[in-house]
């Protein structure tokens, strides 16, 4: 089992902590799903989110601070340092956003920030595209985990580029990888685990569901199903329903 | 002889004072800043009495108790009873279907122009007929006047519940510093746009920048509000202004020509379930945690405090410590 900077997860599900109807609902979503990592943003809270962060600490799960909302390497690095102080962790989910509308990663800023933070002792979880060349550069820069996107943040589209993700997975078989962003349904999460990814990270799909607690449970079951399926070595798909010889005129009983 | 002393003259304290007065109790009302003003978060509210819309996200208790707000306020101040409108831009119309599934008391609007001629360019809307709105600052001063009419005047003094005798109702919000209470930052903007006419609050559903606009007298509009898990006390951020104004511009481009009158930022006191509470600690009742539902739920919270004090009834918002 691939680990995340020395940590293995019982349930390979990481949940964001934004957009829930209330912190109480968020807490039940964590408890009912068994999600073992909580991501938390601090860019817009101005270092004053104490009340809310105390609730997150109280969840008793691993905290993965993120640099959501940062548009440059410099901003992300500053936020990472603030996060390290606030949460007493070297973990940082590194987001450097390149485009305000699609929220897609800025590969250049991401690489720059990864280099700087890894050199500074951070355990970097870079939020990246499925680009293989970029992945190699991020690993060279010191990242030991990759977080390729499924689809743009908050879009709920699932795995947008299955070919690209499969290739990425195959190219770096030993690197722990988390599908981050764009998942809308548990089936997307199961799909990711079946493809060999090690965990998924999501927020909107759970927090904005009509019943976030039930949806969190749904995702927890899905990632476990996907992980089991992967271990069980699935059958190869076949085009069984397409006959290779015509059946007209033949007895079929 | 005072029956109960209330600390805090924001919307929670004033509603409690008025409700207890009407129940026949002799009330004393104390606030360290005197009369309501920019020092309290009640000053910065939108003033929507929209329990059904809030039900899209809030607990069912908010929908249920929120329906007592209109009758309460109608007895005190001018309430505009014209419903509320929820609009989605064309590319977000899926949000409107979801909002409709999660709320009650609405109908789909086929002809927006018939309700709000200035929003005729929009195609996707829901109408919540049984909702209302008020001007929060007028409501506060009308409550102050109503209390004065009953002989209750706000005393300006810094006091704590421990230093007072007899039953105390503490409505100091964040200043009460209660465990479990956190600040949720909100930011708002006030504009004057005489060219635009809206007769009811309008909510714009947007996945990133949800907005509501509440019309006030004289072509004035209140735009709100951000919701950040932060206790940061400083003026509105440039980003919040950008987001609020951009959303308003998307609703009606003429908002770009509006006069920017005022910005505001303050903290909403909230408990983890985002529901208000009457917390009973001996002779002190803490009324707090109104979150974004000050005007909507303060009447119900006051009623439960009064029922507890006068009849020993323990309502669903009452928590005995």
A45, B101: Cβ pair inside 8 Å? no
Tell me whether B97 touches chain A (CB under 8 Å). no
Asked if A250 reaches chain B (Cβ–Cβ under 8 Å), the answer is no
Which class does domain B84-129+182-269 fall in?
alpha beta
Binned at pLDDT 50, 70 and 90, residue B123 comes out as: confident
Across the interface, of A25, A48, A55, the residue whose CB is closest to B232 is: A48
Q: What is d(CA B13, CA B291) in angstroms, rounded to the nearest whole number?
A: 15
pLDDT confidence of residue A246: 61
Nearest alpha-carbon partner for B4 in B29, B34, B32:
B29
Predicted local confidence at residue A4, as pLDDT? 93
Cβ(B289)–Cβ(B270) below 8 Å: yes
Q: Where in chain B is the domain with CATH 3.50.50.60?
A: 4-46+135-179+272-320
Mean pLDDT of chain B: 94
Question: Who has greater pLDDT, A89 or A45?
Answer: A89
pLDDT in tens, B68-77: 999 999 999 9
pLDDT over threshold 80, residue B27:
yes
Domain B4-46+135-179+272-320 is found in CATH 3.50.50.60: yes
Which single residue is written with the structure tokens 């908002």?
A: B255
A27 touches chain B (CB under 8 A): yes
**Site from A23, A58, A203 to mutate, B interface, most B CB atoms within 10 angstroms:** A23
B153: left (phi over 0), alpha (psi -120 to 50) or beta: beta
Q: Give A96-120 pLDDT, tens digit per residue.
A: 999 888 889 999 999 999 999 999 9
Higher pLDDT, A46 or B288: B288
pLDDT value of residue A242:
66
CB contact under 8 A, A22 and B239: no
CA distance A46 to chain B (A): 7
Q: What is the pLDDT of residue B294?
A: 97
For residues B82-93, average pLDDT: 92
Q: Give the strands of the sheet with A13-16, arranged side by side.
A: A147-148, A123-128, A91-94, A62-66, A37-41, A13-16, A199-202, A178-180
Of residues B298, B315, B281, the one with CA closest to residue B16: B298
- Residue A59 CA neighbour count, 13 Å, CB half: 32
Is it the case that residue A249 has pLDDT exceeding 70? no
Give yes or no for residue A248 having a pLDDT over 90: no
Residue A166 is among the residues annotated as catalytic for this protein: no
Size of interface A-B (CB pairs under 8 A): 59
Nearest CA in chain B to A154: B207
Query: What pLDDT is recorded for position A245?
Result: 63
Q: Calculate how close chain B gets to A24, using CA atoms only, in Å.
A: 5
Confidence of residue A247 (pLDDT cuts 50, 70, 90): low
Q: Do A23 and B183 touch (CB under 8 A)?
A: no
- What residues have CB less than 8 Å from B91, skipping those under 6 apart? none
pLDDT per residue over A9-67, tens digit each?
Answer: 999 999 999 999 999 999 999 999 999 999 998 877 767 888 888 999 999 999 999 99
pLDDT digits (tens, 9 = 90+) for A115-134: 999 999 999 999 999 999 99
Give the Cα separation of A146 and A167 in Å (integer): 14
* Arithmetic mean of pLDDT, B101-105: 94
Whether residue A243 is predicted with pLDDT greater than 90 in this model: the reply is no
Mean pLDDT over the full length of chain A: 92
What pLDDT is attached to residue B191? Answer: 96
Of the candidates B98, B102, B230, the beta carbon closest to that of A49 is on: B230
User: For an interface test with B, which of A46, A54, A205 has the most B Cβ atoms less than 10 Å from its Cβ?
Assistant: A46
Q: Would you call B91 an interface residue with chain A, using a CB distance cutoff of 8 Å?
A: no
Of residues A24, A44, A48, nearest to B272 (C-beta):
A24
Residue A230 confidence class, pLDDT cut points 50, 70, 90:
very high
pLDDT average, residue stretch A72-100:
93
> Are the beta carbons of A49 and B231 separated by less than 8 Å?
yes
Is pLDDT of B115 > 60?
yes
- Residue among A22, A54, A210 minimizing CB distance to B274: A22
Question: How far is the C-alpha of A40 from the C-alpha of A42, rounded, in Å?
Answer: 7
Q: What is the pLDDT of residue A237?
A: 83
Which residues of chain B form CATH 3.30.9.10?
84-129+182-269
**Closest chain A CA to residue B178:** A51
Q: Is B2 on the interface with A (CB under 8 A)?
A: no
Confidence of residue A244 (pLDDT cuts 50, 70, 90): low
Q: Does B272 touch chain A (CB under 8 A)?
A: yes
Distance from CA of A236 to the nearest CA of B (A): 37
pLDDT value for B133? 97
**Would an 8 Å CB–CB cutoff place A50 in contact with chain B?**
yes
pLDDT tens sequence across B246-273: 999 989 999 999 999 999 999 999 999 9
- B232 neighbourhood in chain A, CB within 8 Å: 45-48
Instruction: Exactly one of A93, A144, A166, A250 is catalytic; name it.
Output: A93
Q: Do B232 and A45 touch (CB under 8 A)?
A: yes
- Average confidence (pLDDT) over A231-250: 75
- The answer, yes or no, to whether residue A81 has pLDDT greater than 70, is yes
Whether B232 and A52 lie within 8 Å, measured CB to CB: no
Report how far residue A98's alpha carbon sits from residue A239's, in angstroms, rounded to the nearest whole number: 42
pLDDT in tens, B127-176: 999 999 999 999 999 999 999 999 999 999 999 999 899 999 999 999 99
The residue behind tokens 């709920």 is A156
Residue spans of beta strands (DSSP E) within B198-302? 202-205, 211-216, 220-224, 259-270, 277-281, 284-288
Q: How far is A60 from chain B (nearest CA, A)?
A: 16
Instruction: Check if B232 contacts A (Cβ < 8 Å).
Output: yes
Residue B215 has pLDDT above 80, yes or no: yes
Question: By percentage, how much of chain A surpasses pLDDT 90?
Answer: 79
- Burial class from Cβ neighbours inside 10 Å (0-12, 13-18, 19+) for residue A34 reads middle
| Residues in chain B, total | 321
- Distance from the Cα of A55 to chain B's closest Cα (Å) equals 8
Question: Which of B227, B229, B236, B276 best tests the A interface by mutation, with the highest count of A CBs <10 A?
Answer: B229
Q: Which of B62, B230, B234 to mutate to test the interface with A (most CBs of A within 10 A)?
A: B230
């Amino acid at each position: 089992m691939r680990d995340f900077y020395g940590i293995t997860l019982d349930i390979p599900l990481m949940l964001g902590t934004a957009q829930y109807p209330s912190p109480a609902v968020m807490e039940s979503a964590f408890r009912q799903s068994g999600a073992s990592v909580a991501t938390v943003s601090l860019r817009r809270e101005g270092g004053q989110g104490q009340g809310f962060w105390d609730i997150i600490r109280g969840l008793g799960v691993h905290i993965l601070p993120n640099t959501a909302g940062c548009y440059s390497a410099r901003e992300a690095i500053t936020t990472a340092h603030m996060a390290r102080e606030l949460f007493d962790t070297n973990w940082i989910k590194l987001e450097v956003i390149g485009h305000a509308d699609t929220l897609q990663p800025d590969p250049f800023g991401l690489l720059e920030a990864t280099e700087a933070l890894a050199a500074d002792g951070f355990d970097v979880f870079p939020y990246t595209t499925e680009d293989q060349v970029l992945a190699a550069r991020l690993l060279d820069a010191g990242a030991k985990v990759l977080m390729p996107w499924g689809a743009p943040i908050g879009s709920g589209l699932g795995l947008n580029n299955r070919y690209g993700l499969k290739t990425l997975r195959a190219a770096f078989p030993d690197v722990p990888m988390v599908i981050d962003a764009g998942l809308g349904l548990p089936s997307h999460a199961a799909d990711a685990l079946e493809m060999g990814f090690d965990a998924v990270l999501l927020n909107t799909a759970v927090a904005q569901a009509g019943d976030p607690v039930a949806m969190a449970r749904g995702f927890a079951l899905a990632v476990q199903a996907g992980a089991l399926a992967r271990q069980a070595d699935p059958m190869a798909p076949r085009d069984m329903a397409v006959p290779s010889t015509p059946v007209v005129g033949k007895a079929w009983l | 002889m005072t029956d109960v002393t209330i600390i805090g003259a924001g919307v929670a304290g004033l509603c409690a004072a008025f409700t207890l007065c009407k129940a026949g109790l002799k009330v004393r009302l104390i606030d360290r800043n005197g009369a309501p003003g920019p020092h309290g978060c009640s000053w910065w509210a939108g003033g929507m009495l929209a329990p059904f819309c809030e039900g899209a996200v809030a607990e069912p208790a908010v929908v249920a108790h929120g329906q007592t707000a209109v009758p309460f306020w109608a007895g005190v101040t001018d309430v505009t009873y014209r419903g509320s409108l929820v609009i989605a831009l064309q590319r977000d119309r899926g949000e409107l279907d979801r909002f409709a599934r999660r709320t009650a008391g609405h109908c789909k609007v086929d002809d927006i122009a018939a309700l709000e001629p200035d929003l005729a360019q929009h195609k996707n809307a829901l109408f919540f007929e049984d909702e209302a709105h008020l001007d929060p600052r007028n409501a506060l001063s009308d409550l102050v006047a109503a209390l004065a009419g009953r002989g209750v005047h706000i005393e300006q003094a810094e006091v704590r519940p421990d230093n007072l005798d007899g039953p105390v109702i503490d409505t100091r919000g964040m200043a009460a510093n209660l465990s479990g209470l956190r600040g949720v930052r909100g930011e708002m903007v006030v504009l004057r746009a005489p060219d635009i006419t809206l007769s009811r609050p309008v909510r714009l559903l947007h996945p990133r920048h949800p907005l509501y606009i509440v019309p006030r007298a004289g072509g004035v509009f209140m735009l709100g509000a951000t919701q950040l898990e932060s206790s940061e006390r400083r003026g509105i951020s440039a980003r919040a202004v950008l987001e609020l104004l951009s959303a308003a511009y998307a609703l009606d481009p003429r908002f770009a020509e509006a006069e920017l009158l005022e910005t505001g930022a303050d903290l909403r006191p909230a408990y983890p379930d985002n529901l208000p509470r009457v917390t009973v600690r001996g002779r002190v009742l803490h009324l707090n945690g109104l979150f974004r539902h000050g005007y909507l739920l303060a009447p119900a919270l006051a009623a439960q405090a009064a029922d507890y004090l006068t009849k020993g009834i323990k309502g669903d918002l009452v928590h005995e410590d």
